[in-house]
Structure 1
Amino acid sequence: MQQASFRRIDVTAARAIIGGGRALVIDVRDPESFSRGHIGGAELATRENISSFVTLTPKDRPVVICCYHGNSSQAYAKYFTEQGFSDVYSLDGGYEAWARAAPAPVALSPALEAFLAEHGFAAGDVNGRNKDNVTPLMVAARLAPPALVAEVIAAGADIHATNGDGNQALWLACVGEIEENIALLIRAGIDIRHVNVNSATPLMFAASSGRARAVAQLMAAGADPAFETDLGLTALDMASTKECLDLMRAEVKRRKAAATAS
């Protein structure tokens, strides 16, 4: 069998891969350079710990490797492919290219900076990831007051980023069931029909967990209760309360009536 080879990618492609939420980002620069600045969620690799990344990381997990200028990262990327990893990338231009391509920083409020620090994010980075591989928007959507969520979105947060389970911020907003946070994400254009790694939608989660207010908002925004998982289950099948089931049935009936009238 032919051994897979790593791919060289630019910053735009790297952002897309990292934004998917599953990638392991490895920085192979020296500790001092890493401390001055690094890609959000990146792990510092050294000669002493590099083997632990190979041993502990699933071989099908995407691996993005970053160095100073994109040279030594290629040697590390080759090493990972030799160890059986199937989805390995070397960042062309290294961290310098990443830093140059970063948008101009937006001044954040003290409240948002405090929120970032409290939840393990780098100062001023609304698109970084913490040790739990989630973004500030995901955490804020679940926990924070709407004014702070609105500020995170306005500061340029990627509303389409996903966590390790393939869930966008809307899923986390449904967990917290803060109605205005759900509304803010919907108005910002988040995909209400997005499916996670289990082929489940935010509506399925809301219905299965009895979060009727979230169900009502998602249905009003056009969520599809008839969408099926790989097992053939729908949000209607998953409804854990009569209130959630009745909300979806009523909206389906209204949509049918509207379609017939037109």
Structure 2
Amino acid sequence: MNDIALKAWLENEGFPATATLRQSLHGRIDATTTPLMHAAGLGRIGYVGELLSRGANPRELNADGNGALWFACQAGSAPCANALIKAGAPLDSQNASGATALIYAASTGQTALVQLLLDAGADTTLATRDGTTALDLAANRGCIDLLRSRLHLQAA
């Protein structure tokens, strides 16, 4: 993808028009959402890959404490989540309510994402501010089984 096409997409998505593409990569919208978070939240792996290759930071968080990995989970996009994990997105960052990407994925029954996060080393013991873990909030049997299995392995 060329610079003009990427910059046009960013502007079309509501990011501020800037003099350079590099400045555009660091623009923010809404609750301090970065272009990388936005692309991940749309499940747009092509844009996620392009932004990462151009230096977008997978460790940044928005005003609510959510990062691009959380947005990828919200979109149900395993390809985006995988690319972000490989790029160094933090697995266990907790947002303002204490939720992690794993807690979100489990609570919405996204078994494939739960598996991906567990395989990457996500912490199953973290809890939200009200004390609930991914296992407590798991929405389906597949997520429950994966989380229980991982907890048993950690206990052994």
Alignment of 1:45-56 (within 5 A): none
Q: In 2, distance between residues paired with 1:131 and 1:209?
A: 24
Aligned equivalents of 1:131, 1:200: Cα separation in 2: 20
Task: Give the TM-score normalised by the residue count of structure 2.
Answer: 0.86
**Matching of residues 185-204 of structure 1 within 5 Å:** 185-204=84-103
Q: Which amino acid aligns with 1:218?
A: L
**Residue 211 of structure 1: how far off its partner (Å):** 1.4
Letter in 2 for 1:223: A
Name the counterpart of 1:236.
Answer: 135
Kindly state the Cα deviation for residue 133 of structure 1 after the two structures are TM-superposed. Answer: 2.7
Give the conservation status (yes or no) of the 8 Å contact 2:43–2:72: no
Q: Residue 184 of structure 1 is aligned with which of 72, 79, 83?
A: 83
Residue in 1 aligned with 2:7? Answer: 113
Residue pair 1:119, 1:130 contacting (<8 A) in 2 also: no
* Residues 1:248 and 2:142 are matched in the alignment: no
Match of 2:39, SS?
A: helix
Query: Which has the larger helix fraction?
Result: 2
Distance 1:229 1:120, change over 3 A: same
**How far is 1:158 from its partner?**
2.0
CA distance in 2, matches of 1:152, 1:224: 27
1:252 offset after TM fit, Å?
Answer: 2.8
SS in 1 for 2:25: coil
**1:61-140 alignment runs, 5 A limit:** 108=3, 110=5, 112-123=6-17, 124=21, 125-140=24-39
Q: Which runs of structure 1 show a deviation greater than 4 angstroms over 4 or more consecutive aligned residues? A: none
Larger C-alpha radius of gyration, 1 or 2?
Answer: 1
Distance 1:158 1:206 in 2: 22
CA shift for structure 1 position 109: 5.5
Count of matched residue positions in the alignment of Structure 1 and Structure 2: 150
Q: Is the 8 A contact 2:39 2:47 kept in 1?
A: yes
Distance 1:237 1:155 in 2: 39
Q: Could you give the per-residue CA deviations for residues 41-66 of structure 1, whole angstroms, max 9, x where no partner exists?
A: xxxxxxxxxxxxxxxxxxxxxxxxxx
CA distance in 2, matches of 1:179, 1:109: 28
Are 2:27 and 1:158 aligned?
Answer: no
Deviations, residues 50-86 of structure 1 (Å, cap 9, x unaligned):
xxxxxxxxxxxxxxxxxxxxxxxxxxxxxxxxxxxxx
Between the aligned residues of both structures, percent identity stands at 38
Q: Aligned partner of 2:3: which letter?
A: L
Q: 2:43, 2:76 within 8 Å by CA — same for their partners in 1?
A: no
How far residue 162 of structure 1 moved from its aligned partner, in angstroms, is 1.5
Secondary structure at 2:144's aligned position in 1? helix
Decide whether the 8 Å contact of 1:193 with 1:223 is kept in 2.
yes
Are 2:59 and 2:88, in contact at CA under 8 Å, matched by a contact in 1?
no
Contact 1:120 / 1:131 at 8 angstroms: preserved in 2?
Answer: no
Structure 2 gaps of 5+ residues are none
CA distance in 2, matches of 1:215, 1:233: 16
String of CA shifts for 1:67-110, please: whole Å, max 9, x gaps: xxxxxxxxxxxxxxxxxxxxxxxxxxxxxxxxxxxxxxxx6261
- Kept in 2, the 8 Å contact 1:159–1:169? The answer is yes
Question: Alpha-carbon deviation of 1:221?
Answer: 0.6
Uncovered stretches (5+) of structure 1, i.e. residues with no partner: 1-106
- SS of equivalent residue, structure 1 residue 133: coil
TM-score by length of 1: 0.53
